[in-house]
């Protein structure tokens, strides 16, 4: 229990606060959804440590297949939460990915990157890139994970993320284009209600990433100033925004940056009216959430 007498020196609701003695207290503690067979969706899950050095894990989601010779596209997912809360193992991420996998034949892999402020940025970006490289290491069927060796079509990889995870997905796609990804091809990116910033300093991001200005001169926070934008390593991008989301205009700006860049791919914008930030994660059964999910499914299957 955190003592109420401790002095708070940084407070970033709804994410975390920092006390003078260095203690960090999160406003939201991620729950843990056990792995195994989900009797409702028929989706099987498992957790795998991909880096013994850092302890970074991924969670895999796969549906029951008719035979061993079927190869499935792969969706690599990065959860949101301001780089400081959330998990690949929590209820919102699991409900979302189980529903997605139940609607389209894919393997989904959610990267449980290390969180700030204990782990300063760019650690979350680097963990996420390492996660994608781990996926790609199965391209010859000789990787460490049997599900991917047997069932993954690594010529059809999609990146997906919401909020801070969408920011990560974008930069992983940039890195795939500038660095290259051996044995795999990133086809598309699902960028959902992305976290970017304008001219006003985002103090929490600056705290988690002390090398950043926290505003729109940082390419991590404003893709329009990124000289590598034209090298984004995928063929197509679908950008989602929500009308009532405070980040809505920044998401539209991201879409426009891609349209106006030299990147040769195809970008589409999808707006949900009357909804707020990441609404679909908390009510997947709503009509608008189902419409958003159908748009994702169509994006994955129409290639």
- Please list the active-site residues: 163, 245, 277
Q: Are strands 72-78 and 44-51 parallel, antiparallel or unpaired?
A: unpaired
Question: End-to-end alpha-carbon separation of the chain, Å?
Answer: 52
Vertex 150, ends 148 and 151: CA angle to 5°?
70
| Residue 56, both tokens | 């970074």
The set of residues, in sequence order, having a beta carbon less than 8 Å from that of 70 and lying 6+ positions away, is 105, 151
What's the CA gap between 290 and 156, in Å, rounded?
Answer: 24
Distance of CA 294 to the CA centre of its chain: 18
| Residue 164, both tokens | 């801070």
Side-chain-side CA neighbours of 39 within 13 Å: the count stands at: 0
CB 190 within 8 A of CB 249: no
């Amino acid at each position: 229990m955190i003592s109420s007498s401790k002095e708070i020196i940084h407070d970033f609701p709804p994410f975390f606060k920092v006390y003078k003695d260095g203690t960090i207290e999160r406003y939201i503690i991620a729950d843990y959804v056990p792995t195994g067979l989900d009797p409702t969706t028929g989706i099987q899950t498992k957790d795998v440590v991909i880096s013994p050095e850092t302890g970074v894990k991924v969670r895999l989601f796969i549906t029951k297949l008719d035979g061993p010779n079927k190869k499935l596209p792969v969706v690599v997912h990065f959860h949101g939460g301001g780089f400081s809360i959330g998990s690949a193992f929590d209820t919102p991420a699991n409900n979302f990915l189980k529903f997605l996998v139940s609607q389209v034949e894919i393997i989904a892999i959610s990267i449980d990157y290390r969180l700030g402020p204990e782990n300063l940025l760019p650690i979350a970006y680097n963990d996420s890139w390492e996660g994608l490289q781990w996926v790609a290491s199965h391209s010859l069927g000789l990787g460490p994970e049997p599900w991917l060796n047997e069932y993954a079509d690594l010529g059809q990889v999609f990146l997906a993320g919401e909020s801070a995870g969408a920011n990560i997905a974008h930069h992983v796609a940039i890195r795939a284009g500038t660095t290259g990804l051996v044995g795999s091809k990133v086809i598309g990116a699902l960028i959902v209600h992305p976290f970017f910033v304008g001219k006003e300093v985002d103090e929490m991001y600056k705290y988690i990433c002390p090398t950043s200005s926290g505003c729109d001169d940082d390419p991590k926070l404003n893709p329009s100033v990124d000289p590598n934008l034209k090298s984004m390593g995928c063929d197509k991008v679908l950008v989602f925004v929500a009308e009532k989301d405070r980040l809505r205009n920044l998401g539209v700006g991201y879409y426009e940056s891609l349209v106006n860049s030299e990147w040769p791919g195809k970008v589409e914008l999808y707006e949900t009216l009357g909804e707020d930030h990441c609404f679909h994660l908390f009510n997947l059964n709503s009509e608008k959430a189902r419409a958003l999910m159908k748009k994702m499914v169509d994006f994955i299957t129409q290639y």
